[in-house]
Structures are given as structure tokens and as C-alpha cells.
Amino acid sequence: MRRRHHERHRTSNVAWLRAAVLGANDGIVSTASLVMGVAAAHVSGQSVLVAGVASLVAGSMSMAAGEYVSVHSQADSERAELEREHHELQTDTEGEHKELAAIYVGRGLDSALAGQVAKQLMAHDALDAHARDELGITETFKARPLQAAGASALSFAVGSALPLAVVALSPEAVLLPLVFSTSLLFLAALGALSARTGGAKVGTATLRVTFWGALAMAVTAGVGMLFGVSG
């Protein structure tokens, strides 16, 4: 009896991981930066919290809409390519067979074997073979607009809620340093988690995320101080 081979690859996580990490990172950075900029302008803690909540809501909707439109455009392009490929398979089967065989020759097979492989794969599912090997469209990496939009909106809201919780619990006198330091910790944890999930180097991902987050928060806080002083 043949044993089925089961092997999990991290590449299957790429689609949702990209949207989730992007959303959470934007949620932490944008909301923390906003509340720090507002707080640096010497307004009340309640006003800082209201601004943060508004950032959470607006950012989540913006992320969902932007991701949906972007990924839907990709899905439309994929659909158009598949329709064109389907038409070519119906009208020029021999030409499509030669095209697929040439792809396999380019990958290292000799001409005879490449022709046999192309013939058998096209007999099984011609459109799937051409979608995968000619167009690079697979089920794993297929565009899913709703999934991407939902992951982005939810992850943004979760990321945004972290600095907001710090704002709600912090005394006004130490709000700025607490939001800054805890947000860096949140970003470092996010970078480490995304790196481990995707199989990348944890140190590099963590440093990259925290550096740009720190820069964004510092610049925004500086702008808030400038307007607070001038006001």
C-alpha cells in the first residue's frame, strides 16, 4: 500500500500573511503615530483617545477597500488571461501543446520527454496545465479579494487597538513615552511572528519593522510638538 506524502509549505500562507502583517503593522504605526502627534500638541487625554478610535475605524475601512480593489484588479486580470488561454486551447491545440512543451524544455527536459509530459498534462486538464506553467496562476496564489480585504481590515483593527489600550490606561504625564515604547514592542513581536510564520530570519524582520515604526512615530510626534508650541 502506498503511503500518501504530506508536506506543508509556508508558501501556502503567503496570501493571507501579507495582508495580515501589512494591516497589523499599519494599525500599530498609524494609530500610535497619530495619538503621539495629537498628545504632543498638548491636548487632553480624552481627545487623544477619540482621535485614536477615529484612526482605527477609518484605517480599517480604508485598508479593506484598498486591498479589495487592488486584489480584485489582480483577479480580473487572471480571469481575462484564463479566458484567452481557454480560447487558444479551443482554436489552436497543437500550437498550445508546442508552447507548453517548450516551457518544459526550458526547465531542463529533453524535447521528446517534454512533448510527452505536455501531452499527458493537457489530456488531464489542459487549462490547469497552461494556467500553472505558462501564466503562473495556481490555486495557492490565486487572488481572493474578499479574503484579503477581511484580513487587512481585521488585522488593522487589532493592531490599532494595541496602542489605543495603552492610551486608555496611561496617565497623561507619561503617555508619550509609554505609547512609543510599547508600540515598538508590539512591532517587534509582529515582525518576529511574521518571520517565523513565513520561515524568514527573525532578527532581520524584527529590526526592519521596528526601525520604520520608530521613525514614523518620532516624526509625527515632532510635528505635533511643533504645532503645539506654535499654537
User: Consecutive 10-residue runs of the chain (231 residues): their mean pLDDT?
Assistant: 47 58 85 87 85 91 87 83 86 86 86 86 84 75 76 90 92 88 90 74 81 85 68 43
**Confidence at residue 195, expressed as pLDDT on a 0 to 100 scale:** 74
Q: How many structural domains does the chain have?
A: 1
**Confidence at residue 207, expressed as pLDDT on a 0 to 100 scale:** 86
Instruction: Judge whether 53 lies within some domain.
Output: yes
Instruction: Judge whether 164 lies within some domain.
Output: yes
Instruction: Judge whether 2 lies within some domain.
Output: no
Instruction: Judge whether 159 lies within some domain.
Output: yes
The Cα 77–Cα 135 span in angstroms is 11
Phi, psi for 2 (deg, rounded to 5): -80, 135
**Confidence at residue 18, expressed as pLDDT on a 0 to 100 scale:** 66
Instruction: Judge whether 5 lies within some domain.
Output: no
Instruction: Judge whether 3 lies within some domain.
Output: no
What is this structure's pTM? 0.67
**Confidence at residue 205, expressed as pLDDT on a 0 to 100 scale:** 76
Instruction: Judge whether 6 lies within some domain.
Output: no
Instruction: Judge whether 19 lies within some domain.
Output: yes
Are 134 and 99 within 8 A, CB to CB?
A: yes
Of 65, 62, 73, 61, residue with least CA distance to 143: 73
**Confidence at residue 231, expressed as pLDDT on a 0 to 100 scale:** 43
Contacts for 201 with CB less than 8 Å, ≥ 6 apart: 195
**Confidence at residue 162, expressed as pLDDT on a 0 to 100 scale:** 93
**Confidence at residue 229, expressed as pLDDT on a 0 to 100 scale:** 45
The Cα 210–Cα 190 span in angstroms is 9
